[in-house]
Every structure is written in C-alpha cells, then in structure tokens.
Amino acid sequence: MKAFIKKALQYLAMILLILVALKNILLSLPIRRHGGLQNMLSGMHSTLPLQPRGILPFLSGTLMLLLAYRLYKRVRLAWLIEIIALTMGLTYHLTRHQVLPFRTVLVDVFVLVVLLASYKDFARSSDRITVKRAVGFIFCSFFLVLTNAAIGLFLMKEDIRSIHSIYDAIFSSVKLLVFMDTDSLGIKGAAGEFYSNTLIIINWICIMTSAFLLLKPLVYNPIANIQGKHKARQLVLKYGDNPMAYLALENDKKYFFGSGIEGFCAYSLAGSVFTVCGDMICDEKDSFLFLGEITDFCRKNGYDILFINITEKFHSLLKLAGFGIVKYGEDACFSLAEYNLAGGRAAKVRAAINHANKEEITVSEYKPLERKDHLIEKQMQSITEEWLVQKGGVEMSFMLGGMGLNDPMDRRYFYALSKEGEMLGFVVFLPYMEGKAYLADVTRRRSNAPQGVLEKIIYDAFMKMKEEGVLWGNMGLSPLYNICNEQNSSFTEKVFTFIYENMNKTYDFQALHHAKLKYGPTDWQPRYLAFNPKTFSLNFGYAILKVQMPKNMFKTILPNLLKLDRQ
C-alpha cells in the first residue's frame, strides 16, 4: 500500500509539472492576448525565475515537458535538473516577493518534497556518450553565442543605452543569456530589439539540444554484428536447454551479454517491459549472478522484466528472486527412444501417414550448407507466400522463427515431395540441449496438399534423428493449456484458462493443442511466465502480444476480440 501511495504522489508531481509546461506553451500562442485567459495564466505557477516572451515560453514549456517525461522514465539527471530548477524557483520567490505567491510556492514545495523523498526511484543512468557530448556542446555553444553577443552588442552600442565599452557588452551579454531580460539593456532601436531576441532564441535552441543529449537515457546497445551473433550462437549450442533457445539468433532479438559471467539473454523491448525469449542462456551455477546483472540493468533503466516460456531449470531461482510466476502452457515433447505410432494415442497420425504413403509422398532432408539448391528454396518460398495469404499476411515472431535460408547455421530442413516431384510442405527444426533435442519450429504446407504431408515429415524426421542418437523431439508450446489443473492456481492463471476456453475465435488455442495432441506426445512439459514486479499487470499482457505481433497487433486482434465462443 505504501508503494502505491508513493507512486501515486510521484505521478501527481509529474502531472503538475506537465500542467506548468502546458501553461508556458499556451503563453506563446496568439490566444494569450485575450485578457481573461492572460490573467488566468499569469496567476498560475512558474517554475523558473524567468519571464520569457514570444517563442521562449514555448521552448521553456517544451523543456519542462521533456523533464517530466524523463522523470516518468526515472532518469537520474532529469531528477537532479528538476531539483535545481525548483530550488532556484523557490529562492527567487523568497528573495524577490514581499508577498509570496501561495499557489506557486505550494506547488514548488510539494513537487520538491516528493522528488527528494523518492530519490532512490530515479536511478536510471543517462547515456555516458551523449552526456559527454552534451557537456562539450554546452560549453562550446555558450562560448560562441556569448562571444557573438558581446561583439554584436558592442557594434550596435548606438542602439543600446547601457553599452559604452567592450566590457559593458560582455557584461550585458552574460545578463542577456543567463537572465534573458532585454529590458535591462535599454534598447532604443528595432534592430537592437531584433538582435537581442534572436540571441535569446539561439541560446534556447542550444539549451534544448543540450537537454535532449543530457537526458537521453542509457539504452543497452544491442550487438547485432557478425561477431556478436557468433558469440550468441556458441552460447546457445553450449547452454541452450530451452526449446526456445535457438530463437535467440533470429533478427528480431537484441542481446544482453553478461559482464562478469559467460552468458546472455535474448530480449525485445515492448514499451517499458524488458521481454526475454525463454530462459537465460548461461551455466546454471552462474545464473544467480547473471540474473542480478539483468535486474540491476532494468532497475537503472526503469524497465519491468518479463521472461516468456521459461522451463523448470530456472523456475525456482526466479521465484526466490521475487519474480511472479504463472504457468503459461505445456510443450508437446517426444522421448524418441520410446516414441512410435502404435496404440490409440497416435491413431490419427498413423492414418494420415498411411494416406500419404499411398500417395507415394516421400520425405527428404535439405542441407543448404552442403549444397545450395535454388529450386528447393524457391518452392519453400512459394509455400510460405501461399501460407501467408491464408494467414492474412500476418506472420508472428519472437517465439516463432523464420526459414533462415540466408543463414541456415544449425537448422535442419525436411520437406515432402509428391510423386510428380512437387514440394508439398516442409518443416524447419531447431536444435537445443547441445543438439540432443530438436524443436519443430516452422511447419508449412500447400493448401491443396494431400492429407498426412506434415505428419509424415515430422514423423520421418524424428525417426531419422532417433537413429542419430537424438533424445528428444518437440512440437512446441500449447499456450494456456492445462493451467488450472494444478493446486493453488492464481487469479492470472484462472484468467488464462478463461481465455483458453472462451476466446478461440481470436486465437484458436484448443485447435492448436489438438493438432499437437494427435501425435501422441510421450511428455507434456510445463512452461511458465516470470515477471517483476511480482503482480501480473496489463503492461505484461501487452508485452506478450506486442513482441509476437510487432506490426498490426491491434488490426489482428481487435476485430475478433469480442467474438467469444458461446457453446
């Protein structure tokens, strides 16, 4: 409860700063000339001890909006600048006013107290590179503008009463740029007024540019080069026990490498949620230290953390670290040493494969690293294009991979041909558990393909892998399946169960599960979501959808969102 009140007060303080910023921007609009509105605006709070004119209220208001936004993003430097600005404002009012503007001081004091009391929450670092650039830019720009102002004012001394020598020009330039007050110069002509206002505007542009650089939050630069991807691949092959591990090498991922240990995680940002694909990829003995690096980085950057589709391997560690854990579904797994088509559990698949055999459909493995075959790849692309049309042009990502034909690496490709030699379908398998297991990731077939094409590809591929000593086959996740059958199901898990049972017009969870069930998996292995803060919020729900459908998410979901099954 205390945390909620604290956060509510912080948001209220930020809203007040935004209102002040909007007031300054309104002062710059032509509407400010209306007497009633002008009086109302003039009576409102002003943070800085400046009374800018014309375009300057707009610039100062924009700067304050930037500060408020960066405070929302928990940037430490924004907190420091706001503390200084509020202190200056209070000092100005206390020293320059015999009768204190009550509303102004009250807002200043409230915001200042809230920010000081919650300084630990504003821990996100600014980007060191841009901070260095900003500091250099501030000094250089101020020196150049000051020099230009001093020379210009001296040359125009006939139009300015207060300037008689170069020393007067330098002193007046400092006053002009620091206090932005043209009245103290005693300007006589229109040229002097125009020049001084131009100098103020240029100075504000420099201030705004510096502020953007100073307040740019630290964002981890993803390693997307060949060397970084090669390092990630080696770690995936060594430590990737999660079936999702190889998806770390897809182009939609960014990498967070451990600084003190050998490991990384593949992530994407969905709003302010640091969303990880699968488990951390590291040695289990280093997992505690690596998790500490991830949480520390996210705390400094103001990110919530979400792991999607974690296994039992790190379940206990994440729970011990204070993460919320909910079941997300189960993986259809096959112990290849035990798996066969005998019995009733695989009767449908057995019948489908028998039909494919009667059609004289054959399955082969394509090995692009040994020999490129452009005809095979062209047919795979043709099947993919047809499949995309059936899916409305929407291809999910993050938890699903692509064909990867441009850079096959360790993927395995199995495809089916008709007796006429036409490709009817294909499946792309991804390795995990150091190549002792494979996930059937991409499964596609032609719309007019005979029954049993995909069933035959997957079964034949599993049997070939079994001969090679592979231990496990995997058909992937049945999302939201069998969540509430465990004891003490959480509210979130009950919501997931409701979605699984009632929202199949939006995404056909049950049909996907039955498509895997018919193969007769030997094991159903649980998968989980882990998230910090511990309470599952809409923020995390949005992140799950956004990373998998980065484009046209709402266009895909909204048309069917309210079409609940009523059976």
pLDDT of 233 higher than 50: yes
User: What domains can be seen in the chain, in order of their start residue?
Assistant: 2-214 (no CATH), 331-531 (3.40.630.30)
Question: What percent of the chain lies above the pLDDT cut of 90?
Answer: 41
| Averaged pLDDT, 168-186 | 62
How would residue 132 be classed by pLDDT, with cut points 50, 70 and 90? low
Distance in angstroms (rounded) separating the CA atoms of residues 266 and 232:
9
pLDDT of 298-333, one tens digit each?
Answer: 887 778 999 999 999 999 999 999 999 999 999 999
Between 148 and 395, the more confident residue is: 395
Distance of CA 562 to the CA centre of its chain: 27
Tokens of residue 201, six digits? 């505007």
Lowest mean pLDDT among 50-54, 92-96, 364-368, 469-473: 50-54
Give which of 393, 461, 448 is closest to 418, Cα–Cα: 448
pLDDT of 376-434, one tens digit each?
Answer: 999 999 999 998 888 776 677 888 888 999 999 999 999 999 999 999 999 999 999 99
**3-state DSSP helix/strand/coil percent for the chain, to nearest 5?**
55, 15, 30
DSSP 3-state of 117: helix
Give which of 310, 331, 288, 329 is closest to 440, Cα–Cα: 331
How would residue 189 be classed by pLDDT, with cut points 50, 70 and 90? low
Concatenate the DSSP letters of all residues of 329-370 into one string: EEEEEEETTT--S-SSTTHHHHHHHHHHHHTT-EEEEE-TTT
**Mean pLDDT across the chain:** 80
pLDDT of 438-448, one tens digit each?
Answer: 999 999 999 99
pLDDT of 528-543, one tens digit each?
Answer: 999 999 999 889 999 9
Lowest mean pLDDT among 80-94, 301-315, 340-354, 408-422: 80-94
Tokens of residue 25, six digits? 């921007």
Phi, psi dihedral angles at 505 (to 5 degrees): -80, -25
pLDDT of 488 higher than 50: yes
Distance of CA 120 to the CA centre of its chain: 23
How would residue 18 be classed by pLDDT, with cut points 50, 70 and 90? confident
The kind and range of the H/E element at 80 are helix 76-96
Contact by Cβ (8 Å): 557, 392: no
Most confident of 61-75, 110-124, 135-149: 110-124
pTM: 0.69
Question: What percent of the chain lies above the pLDDT cut of 70?
Answer: 71
Lowest mean pLDDT among 132-141, 479-488, 517-526: 132-141
Tokens of residue 327, six digits? 């079941």
296-321 burial, b if ≥16 CB within 10 A, otherwise e?
ebbebbbbbbbbbbbbeebbebbeeb
